[in-house]
Structure 1
Amino acid sequence: MSQNYEMIYILRPDLSEEQANQAVTKYQDFLIKNGAVDIEVKVWGKRRLAYPIQKKLDGIYVQFNYKADGTQIEPLERIMRLEEDVLRYLTIKVEEDLTKQTSELDSNESNSEITEKEEEAEDIKSKASESETTETKIVELIDSEG
């Protein structure tokens, strides 16, 4: 039976972009070969670590979300444990409802951001039209007096 899993791992910060992409592809291919489906990859990029790991202060964060039967986890983590490029890794089982809620929240956040920007644009337009109206009234007053 397939379960939803989320894996986050941290690569060494001194890897080039090409080396980091090769590592991501390597682990993604491993999951595909071992029956994982619906693999979603998010590369968060280089970020500051909460504490030094192997004398490194930064790391390249990568997140995998996938469906699998669970037999892939142990061999993949064993490969990562032996790999020098991986500083840390963690795999958790995710409730299906949580993955749906997360994707809904992401879409709702983007919709609310769009709505906020539209409201800001409306405010700017209304303020601009108010200032134009005020300028027109001032010009009319000056013309009528002159």
Structure 2
Amino acid sequence: MAETQAALRLREYETIFLIKPELTDDNVDRLKERVRGIVNREGGKVLRFTVWGKKKTLYPIAKQPRAIYVHTHYLGDAKMVAEVERNLRNFDEVTRYLSVKIADEVDPESRPVLEDVKMAGDVEEARPGAPEREVPFRSDVADEVGESEEEGTEEA
């Protein structure tokens, strides 16, 4: 009886993977379904996919300054995670991935399957760099700066 209860217990994992930024939403959905199929085939349970959208990376990855971030939350065992990572490594669209174990011995019945979420990502698509502050030109500030420079020359 202890073996059947241990067999029903799974570990909780999350995997975040980066996808090339030029992929369309349909291609991202196809990639999600492939990962979902791998988890289901290996005896796991996908709890939720969250597409964080296109974001700027800290440094260029695969010569791209941006990537589409996808977060996967699922239940399974270590062999299943190795299989998911092996497949992510072989997908040309995926540039990076990272899997993390969240909890041990989780009852799959206690974790409901949640609806997939798609977030907007970065809003500032036109400006890839840091946002620049626009300072309006004020004539009174320019006059004060000019006066203080003049006063400094008189004192010297």
The 2-side partners of 1:27 and 1:5 are apart by 14
State the shift of 1:50 in Å: 0.9
Confirm or deny: 8 A CA contact 2:57 2:67 kept in the other structure: yes
State the shift of 1:73 in Å: 1.1
2:99 matched residue in structure 1: 91
- TM-score w.r.t. structure 2 length? 0.58
State the shift of 1:38 in Å: 4.5
Confirm or deny: 8 A CA contact 2:36 2:46 kept in the other structure: no
Q: Which segments of 5 or more consecutive residues in structure 2 lack a partner in the other structure? A: 1-8, 105-156
Identity of aligned residues (%): 28
Amino acid across the alignment from 1:46: K
Amino acid across the alignment from 1:7: T
The structure-2 alpha-carbon separation of the partners of 1:38 and 1:74, relative to structure 1 and needing over 3 Å to count, comes to closer
2:87 matched residue in structure 1: 79
Matched position secondary structure for 2:75 = strand
Confirm or deny: 8 A CA contact 1:2 1:70 kept in the other structure: no
Confirm or deny: 8 A CA contact 1:48 1:57 kept in the other structure: yes
Question: Per-residue CA shift, 1:49-78, capped at 9, x if unaligned?
Answer: 111001011111111111112211112111
Give 1:66's match in structure 2, choosing from 58, 74, 78.
74
User: Superposition RMSD on alpha carbons, in Å?
Assistant: 1.3
The 1-side partners of 2:63 and 2:77 are apart by 36
The 2-side partners of 1:83 and 1:38 are apart by 19
Q: Which segments of 5 or more consecutive residues in structure 1 lack a partner in the other structure? A: 97-146
Amino acid across the alignment from 2:40: I
1:32 matched residue in structure 2: 40
Matched position secondary structure for 2:78 = coil
How many residues end up aligned between the 2 structures?
96
- After TM superposition, the runs of 4+ consecutive aligned structure 1 residues lying more than 2 A away are none
Matched position secondary structure for 1:13 = coil
The 1-side partners of 2:39 and 2:47 are apart by 8
1:1-146 aligned at under 5 Å gives the runs 1-95=9-103
